Amino acid sequence: MDLDFTPEEQAFREEARRWLEAHVPAPGSLASLDTPEGFEEHRRWERTMYDDRWSVVNWPAALGGRDASIVEWLVFAEEYYRVQAPKRVSQNGIFLLAPTLFEHGTNEQKARYLPPMASADEIWCQGWSEPDAGSDLAGIRSRARRDAGGWVLDGQKTWCSRGAFAEWCFAIFRSDPEAERHRGLTYFLVPMDAPGVTVRPIPQLDGETGFAEVFFEGVRVPDDQVLGGVGEGWRVAMSTAGSERGLNLRSPARYTEAAGRLLDRYVGRLAEGGEAAEAATALADRVARAYVDAEAYRLHTYWTASAVAEGQAVGAEASCNKIFWSETDLAIHGLALALGGTGSELLEPGPDGGSRPGEWLDGYLFALAGPIYAGTNEIQRNVVAERLLGLPRG
Amino acid sequence: MRFAFTEQQLELRGAVRQVLASECTPADLRALHERPPEPAAGPALGRADPGRTSARWAVLAELGAPGLLAPEAHGGLGLDEVDLTGVLEEAGRVALPEPLGESAGLVVPALAGLLELPGAGADAGADPGKVARWLGAVAHGEAVATVGGVEVGRAGPVLTTAPLDPDAQLPDAVPCRTPRVVASDRADVALLVAPGAGGGLEVHLVEAAAARRLPTPSIDGPRRPGEWEWVPSPETRLASGGAAAVLVGSLVDRGALVAASQLLGLADRMIAMAAAYAVDRKQFGRPIGSFQAVKHLLADARVRLEFARPATYRAAESIARGRPGRAAHAAMAKALASDAADLAARVALQVHGAIGYTWECDLHLFMKHTWALSASWGDAVTQRARVLAEALAGRSG
C-alpha cells in the first residue's frame, strides 16, 4: 500500500494543471449547457480540450486520448474540478457509451463513433427510460422490428438528458417480444436526425431544457448500428449502468471540490458573527460530516481504482457508490444553501442579461436528480441487498 | 499510488480470521459476560480460564499478533500498521475481548518508539533495559498490556488520571486513580498517562502488581474495564515534557485507528448475522429479507461500512508512514467507522426484531462491544469536530 502518487502521476497532474489554468473559461462564464447557445459554448470547450488531447485522457492515443491510467484519469478530474471547469456536455458519450463501446463494439464501430465523440462533433444522449419503464427498465416496450438490411424502430423514450440538442442517441429496444423480458432487448445507436425521430424538449426544475422526450416512428437503422449483438441489449446496458453508477460518471473531485468550498462558506458565516455565526455553528457537525463523506468517497474511488488496475471486476459495489455519491452531493449543496439562510432561493444575474441560479442553488438542483437517475437509489438498495448481502428477490 | 493490501497482508489476515473463528466463539463471549465481576484486585484469572481468554492469547501470540509492530530484534514481526489494521478488523469480527488493540497497537509501538529516541528516556529516568524487557514480553505475548489515562476530546487529549486527594499535587508519590482501564483484571502492565508538572503530562509504565485494581461494571462485560489506583514515581515514569506530549499524541491517533479497525469487523459481522436471519425468518409466508423495508435497512448499513473501510486503511498507511495528515486521517476513520458500526448495530437489532432483544440471541455480544468501541478514543461527533478544525486550519493556510 502506497498512497503517494508516482513521479509519472505527479508529472501528469502538473501538466494537466498548467494546461487547464491556461485554457479554462472563468467559472460561470458559459451559458447553461441546457440552452442552445450554452450547448454550443460547451461543445467548443470540449473541442478546445480535444485539440490538446485532454478531452478523453484515458482513451488510446490513436483515438485522441493519452493512454492515461485509471489513477491518472482521477488525477485529471481532480484538476478539472479544482479550476471549476465547465460541465462535460459530452458526458453521456465519453463516460457511459464509450466504455460500453470499448467492451462490446466492433472495431468498425469504435473507429466510426469514438473520434467524433472525443471531439464533441457528435454528442450523445441516452434513450433508456420510457413513460412506463423507469425503475423497471426491463419493462420497455419500444420495438425494433427486423426489416431488409436492418431494423425499424418504433416507440417513445423519455428523460433523455441532452436529448434536445444531441446528434446521436444510444437506446435499447425490444427486438423479440416473445422472449423472456431481459432477453428480448437490443442496444442501438441512432442518429437523432434520422427520418421518423421527433424530439420534444422537456424543461427541468431550473426551467432549462435539460432533457427531452424522443419519439421513434418507423426509424430505419442498419445492422451495423446494433451494439453488442441482437438480444444482448440487457447485458450491454448493464455494462453501461455499471459505468454510470460506478467509477466513470461521478468523479470524486466534484465532491471534494464542493466540500472545500462548503468549508469556506462555513468559515465566512462564522466570520460574520451574530445570527449567521450561530446558524453556522449549529450546522458544524453536518458540515464536518459532508466533508468527511466527500473524502471517504475519494478514498473509496482510489481503492476501487487500484482493484480495477489489478484486474478485479467492479460488481454490485457500484450500487453502493451511486447511493453514496448522490447523497453526499445533496448533503453538501443542501448545507451550503442552509448556511446561506434567508434568500438562498434567489437567482443571480446570468451572462446573457437574464437571471439564473447561483453556483450553490444550481448545484443543489443538479444534486436533486442524483438519487433518481442511473437507477433510483431505492433500486440500488435492492441491488446491494440482493447481490452483496444475498437477500431473496422480492 | 497503490491502494490495496499485499498478498502477504491478506494471508496474515486470513490466518487470524480462521483461528479466531474457532478460538473466539459466542459461547466464549458468553462465559465472560456471565462471569460476575470480581470484588477486588487479584491474580489475573479467578478460575480456570473462563471464556478461554488465556488460551486464546497464547494462540494469538503464536501467530505473532501482539508483537506485529515490534522490531524483529525485540521478538516482533517488524510489520506495520497496515498489516495490523486487517488483523484488528478480524478481532472485531469476533468481538475479541482481549486487549489486542491496546497491546499490539498502542503499547508496543510506544515502547519501541521510546527505545528509538536518542538517549532513550534518559531525561525522564526510564530505564531502557526495563523498557526493552517489557517490549519483548508484550511482543511475545508473555505479558498482556493495556492503556489508560487518556481519552479523546474535541480540543485534543483529555487526561483522566487524577490524585485521590484532590488537593494533592502530582506528579510524584501521590496516589492517584485512572478510570476505565480496559482488560483491567488480566493486564500485566499498563501504559498510564498522568498530569505532569506545570500543566504538562507524563507517561508511566505501571505493573499490575503495583496497582490496586477495581472492576468497573460495564454492559460490555468481557472488555473488563477497571479503575487503577497507583503511585507515579521516577521508577514508573517513561516520558515527560515534550517526549510525553509526542507519545500521547501518537496514542490518540493510534487509539482511533485500532478502535476503527475493530469496528469495521464488528459492523460486517452484525450485517452478516442480520442478513442470514432475514433469509431464514419467514413472515406472511416469505422470508422477511424479501421485503424492501428490510432490504433497504441492511443496504444502508452495508453502504456506510463500504465507505468506512478505505478511510480506515488510509489512516493506517498514514500512521505507518508518519504522514503529516495522520491525526486528521485517524479522526476521519474513527468517525466513519463509529457511525458505520453504530448503524449496523441498530439495523441488525431491528431486523432481528424481538429475538435480537434477548440475551439468548448472540447479537447483543457484538452490539455491546460496538457501543464500547464506538464511544472510545473519540466518538463520531468528537472526531468530526477534530477533522473540521484541522481542515479549516489547512484551508486558511
A391 interfacial to chain B (CB closer than 8 Å): yes
What would the grid cell of residue B142 be? 508473555
Residue A272 lies in a domain: yes
Looking at the partner chain, which of B1, B302, B396 has a beta carbon nearest the beta carbon of A320?
Answer: B302
In this structure, the number of other CB atoms found within 10 A of the CB of residue B188 comes to 18
Q: What is the pLDDT of residue B124?
A: 54
Q: Are residues A68 and A194 in the same domain?
A: no
Instruction: Please give the torsion angle defined by the CA atoms of residues A58, A62, A66 and A68, in that order, rounded to the nearest 10 degrees.
Output: 40
Q: What is the pLDDT of residue B116?
A: 84
Cβ distance of B307 and A386 shorter than 8 Å: no
Q: What is the pLDDT of residue B397?
A: 58
3-state helix, strand, coil in chain B (%, to 5): 60, 15, 30
Q: What is the pLDDT of residue A149?
A: 85
Is the distance from CB of A154 to CB of A142 less than 8 angstroms?
A: yes
Final residue before a domain boundary, out of A181, A200, A232:
A232
Q: Are residues A130 and A224 in the same domain?
A: yes
Q: Is the pLDDT of residue A389 over 60?
A: yes
Residues 62-81 (A) with a CB less than 8 A from some CB of B: 71
| Lowest-confidence segment of A253-267, A345-359, B257-271 by average pLDDT | A345-359
Q: Are residues A199 and A324 in the same domain?
A: no
Q: For residues A20 and A79, give the distance between their C-alpha atoms in angstroms, rounded to a whole number.
A: 8
CA distance A79 to chain B (A): 17
Q: For residues A355 and B53, give the distance between their C-alpha atoms in angstroms, rounded to a whole number.
A: 70
Is the distance from CB of B67 to CB of B140 less than 8 angstroms?
A: yes
Residue A393 lies in a domain: no
Instruction: Give the tens place of pLDDT for each residue, B43-92.
Output: 444 457 889 999 999 999 999 999 999 999 999 999 999 999 999 999 99
**How distant, in Å, are the alpha carbons of B26, B48, B222 from that of B31?**
9, 12, 9
Residue A210 lies in a domain: yes
Q: Is the pLDDT of residue A247 over 50?
A: yes
Residue A95 lies in a domain: no
The phi and psi torsions of A213 (rounded to 5 degrees) equal -100, 140
Provide the domain limits for residue A317. 246-388
Amino acid letter at B186?
A: R
**How distant, in Å, are the alpha carbons of A61, A115, A240, B378 from that of A119?**
13, 6, 21, 51
Q: Are residues A220 and A311 in the same domain?
A: no
Cβ distance of B395 and A260 shorter than 8 Å: yes
Q: Residue A147 maps to which CATH number?
A: 2.40.110.10
**A281: nearest CA partner in chain B:** B385
Ramachandran class of A84: left when φ > 0, alpha when ψ lies in -120 to 50, beta otherwise = left
Final residue before a domain boundary, out of A232, A259, A275:
A232
Among B115, B119, B110, B121, residue whose Cα is nearest residue B149: B110
Question: Under 8 Å CB-to-CB from B323, ≥6 apart: which residues?
Answer: B317, B329
**How distant, in Å, are the alpha carbons of A38, A65, A82, A119, A352 from that of A23?**
18, 18, 14, 16, 22
Final residue before a domain boundary, out of A204, A232, A260:
A232
Compute the count of residue pairs across chains A and B with CB atoms less than 8 Å apart. 153
Q: Are residues A256 and A360 in the same domain?
A: yes
Strand arrangement, sheet containing B145-148: B145-148, B189-195, B201-207, B237-240
Instruction: Give the tens place of pLDDT for each residue, A88-130.
Output: 999 999 999 999 999 999 999 999 999 999 999 999 999 999 9
Q: What is the pLDDT of residue B224?
A: 95
- Measured between beta carbons, which residues in chain B are less than 8 angstroms from residue A392? 279, 286-287, 289-290
Q: Is the pLDDT of residue A381 over 60?
A: yes
Q: For residues B34 and B263, give the distance between their C-alpha atoms in angstroms, rounded to a whole number.
A: 23
Read off the pLDDT band of B196 (50, 70, 90).
confident
- Measured between beta carbons, which residues in chain B are less than 8 angstroms from residue A380? 299
Count: domains in chain A: 3
Helix (H), strand (E) at residue A142: none
DSSP assignment string, A161-209: ETTTT-SEEEEEEES-TTS-TTTSEEEEEEETTSTTEEEEEE--TTSS-
Mean pLDDT of A27-52: 94
Is the distance from CB of A284 to CB of B154 less than 8 angstroms?
A: no
Q: Residue A35 maps to which CATH number?
A: 1.10.540.10
Q: Residue A255 maps to which CATH number?
A: 1.20.140.10
> For B106, what's the count of Cα atoms within 13 Å in the CB-facing half-sphere?
31
Q: Are residues A58 and A82 in the same domain?
A: yes
Residue A365 lies in a domain: yes
Residue A1 lies in a domain: no
Q: Are residues A204 and A134 in the same domain?
A: yes
Residue A285 lies in a domain: yes
Q: Are residues A200 and A311 in the same domain?
A: no
Among B13, B46, B18, residue whose Cα is nearest residue B32: B46
Q: Is the pLDDT of residue A40 over 90?
A: yes
Mean pLDDT of B20-29: 97
Cβ distance of B298 and A389 shorter than 8 Å: yes
Q: Clarify whether A244 is annotated catalytic.
A: yes
- Measured between beta carbons, which residues in chain B are less than 8 angstroms from residue A384? 298-299, 302-303
Q: Are residues A53 and A26 in the same domain?
A: yes
Q: What is the pLDDT of residue A248?
A: 65
According to DSSP, the β-strands at B156-159 and B150-153 are antiparallel
Question: Under 8 Å CB-to-CB from A352, ≥6 apart: which residues?
Answer: A31, A37
| Lowest-confidence segment of A276-280, B33-37, B310-314 by average pLDDT | B33-37
Q: What is the pLDDT of residue B46?
A: 46
B286 interfacial to chain A (CB closer than 8 Å): yes
Q: What is the pLDDT of residue A37?
A: 93
Cβ distance of B295 and A388 shorter than 8 Å: no
Q: Which domains does chain B have, with CATH numbers?
A: 7-124 (1.10.540.10), 144-244 (2.40.110.10), 248-395 (1.20.140.10)
Instruction: Give the tens place of pLDDT for each residue, B133-191.
Output: 999 999 999 999 999 999 999 999 999 999 998 887 665 778 999 999 999 999 999 99
DSSP designation for A86: P
Cβ distance of B4 and A303 shorter than 8 Å: yes
Residues 258-277 (B) with a CB less than 8 A from some CB of A: 271, 275
Q: Are residues A370 and A264 in the same domain?
A: yes
Q: Are residues A262 and A151 in the same domain?
A: no
The rounded percent of chain B whose pLDDT value lies above 90 is: 86
What would the grid cell of residue A363 be? 448545484
> What's the Rg (C-alpha) of chain B?
21
Is the distance from CB of A103 to CB of A239 less than 8 angstroms?
A: yes
Helix (H), strand (E) at residue A236: helix A233-245
pTM for this entry: 0.95
Helix (H), strand (E) at residue A218: strand A211-222
Q: What is the pLDDT of residue B44?
A: 45
User: What average pLDDT is seen over chain B?
Assistant: 93
3-state helix, strand, coil in chain A (%, to 5): 50, 15, 35
Residue A70 lies in a domain: yes
Residues 290-349 (B) with a CB less than 8 A from some CB of A: 290-292, 294-296, 298-300, 302-303, 306-311, 313-314, 316-318, 332, 335-336
Q: Are residues A16 and A113 in the same domain?
A: yes
Residues 73-132 (A) with a CB less than 8 A from some CB of B: none
Burial of residue A164 (number of CB atoms within 10 Å: 0-12, 13-18, 19+): buried
Q: What is the pLDDT of residue A245?
A: 66
- Measured between beta carbons, which residues in chain B are less than 8 angstroms from residue A303? 3-4, 309-310, 313
- Measured between beta carbons, which residues in chain B are less than 8 angstroms from residue A335? none
Q: Is the pLDDT of residue B41 over 70?
A: no
- Specify which residues B290 forms β-bridges with: none
